[in-house]
Amino acid sequence: TQLLEQSPQFLSIQEGENLTVYCNSSSVFSSLQWYRQEPGEGPVLLVTVVTGGEVKKLKRLTFQFGDARKDSSLHITAAQPGDTGLYLCAGVTSGTYKYIFGTGTRLKVLA
């Protein structure tokens, strides 16, 4: 069974701080996605990365796909209370419709 481990599981920081969330696997993925889920809602896609070593930026969020396409990271610069939520990574293996979701990182940004 493919697994995606996320770390840390919980993170509580002050507004303005930087943070990094990691998503690791022993499996190779053809693409990897990051979602954010707010209370009472379903996850919403933030970004998809498909090339090993790829870096994508979305305002204060920077996403990186590992060179070997087994891991990814999400870096948030100057976190704001609006960044609070559950962050999930999801990997897709070519030839399958299945998305393997990570265990999740629950982020709380305090004003």
Give the footprint of another protein on this chain (CB under 8 A): 1, 4, 6, 9, 30-33, 35, 40-45, 48, 50, 88, 90, 92-99, 101-104
Closer CB to another protein, residue 42 or residue 82?
Answer: 42
Indicate the residue type of 55. V
Strands (E), the chain: 5-7, 10-14, 19-24, 31-37, 44-49, 55-58, 61-65, 71-76, 85-92, 99-101, 105-110
CB of 87 to another protein, least distance (A): 11
CB of 102 to another protein, least distance (A): 5
